[in-house]
């Protein structure tokens, strides 16, 4: 199977403990399958995230790595957008920087993407066996049930950071803070197709989560209302005919 050029993008804040191993896993997962690049956006980290990524790149000159640093933290969605704007790939693969997404699952996403005939699509990972506390799993099930009832995006696990989306599709989506939590619903808004692939899930290697139950619930409720509003206002014109005439000299 021949795949297009792929950009693996990672938003990261204070993930210096996790990124060297994760970058090596991405390199191993993609080298045999496609041409690729890796883009890490250091979202204003207080540790040496930027430096360890630069050092990894120097040790692996055969890997195409771009490291971008935000002067101040602006959030995961904005960091992802920075990465996508930097990307050169036709397909974007998103991963979290904490090591919980397994790059060995990326080939399965590539295979699913190769079967799409809709120009807009999202291949979403589904963490079938979550390596989280029972309390966190309960929060996730509860939030996903509400989101699915309201948005009907066809995804059981929108919180999984491992997704594949065409770059053109990603850049066609309306941008807002926390949009990364609603990518499948936003792809549906442009009449795109959603496919779900079971993926591995691992415990966090190091560092601490940037989210709590409270901040997830509050902003999630507000943003979900916004996504509903955007979806109801969406219009997708279908051009029936075009007539063009070149001027005669």
Res 136: pLDDT: 64
* 249 within a domain of the structure (yes/no): no
Does 224 reside within a domain? yes
Q: State the pLDDT at residue 8.
A: 98
In whole angstroms, give the CA distance from residue 83 to residue 92.
10
**DSSP-assigned letters across all residues of 166-235:** EHHHHHHSPP-TTGGGGHHHHHHHTT-EEEEEEE-B----SS--S--HHHHHHHHHHHHHHHHHHHHT--
- pLDDT at 47 (0 to 100): 96
Closest listed residue to residue 102, CA positions, set 81, 79, 129, 82: 129
Segments in the chain below pLDDT 70: 1, 130-152, 154, 204-222, 229, 232, 234-237, 249
Range(s) of the domain holding residue 14: 6-232
Tell me what pLDDT residue 230 has: 72
Q: What is the pTM of this model?
A: 0.82
- For residue 100, what is the domain's CATH number? 3.90.550.10
Residue 15 lies in a domain: yes
Q: Is 77 among the domain residues?
A: yes
Instruction: Give the C-alpha distances (Å, rounded to integers) separating 40 from 11, 48, 82, 87, 179.
Output: 6, 13, 10, 10, 18
Residue 155: the pLDDT is 74
Residue 139 falls inside a structural domain: yes
Q: Is residue 120 in some structural domain?
A: yes
């Amino acid at each position: 199977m021949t795949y297009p050029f792929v950009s693996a993008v990672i938003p990261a804040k204070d993930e210096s403990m996790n990124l060297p191993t994760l970058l090596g896993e991405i390199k191993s997962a993609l080298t045999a399958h496609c041409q690729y690049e890796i883009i890490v956006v250091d979202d204003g980290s207080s540790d040496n995230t930027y430096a360890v990524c630069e050092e990894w790149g120097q040790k692996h000159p055969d890997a195409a790595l771009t490291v971008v640093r935000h002067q101040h933290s602006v959030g995961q969605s904005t960091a992802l957008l920075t990465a996508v704007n930097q990307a050169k790939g036709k397909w974007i693969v998103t991963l979290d920087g904490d090591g919980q997404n397994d790059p060995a699952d990326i080939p399965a996403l590539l295979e699913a993407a190769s079967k799409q005939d809709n120009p807009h699509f999202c291949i979403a990972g589904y963490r079938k066996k979550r390596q989280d506390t029972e309390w966190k799993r309960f929060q996730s099930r509860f939030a996903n049930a509400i989101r699915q009832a309201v948005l009907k995006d066809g995804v059981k696990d929108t919180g999984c950071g491992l997704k594949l989306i065409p770059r053109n599709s990603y850049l066609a989506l309306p941008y807002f803070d926390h949009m990364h939590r609603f990518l499948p619903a936003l792809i549906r808004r442009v009449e795109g197709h959603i496919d779900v692939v079971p993926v591995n899930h691992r415990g966090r290697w190091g560092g601490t989560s940037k989210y709590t139950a409270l901040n997830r619930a509050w902003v999630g409720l507000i943003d979900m209302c916004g996504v509903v509003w955007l979806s109801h206002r969406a219009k997708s014109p279908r051009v029936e005919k075009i007539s063009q005439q070149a001027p005669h000299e």
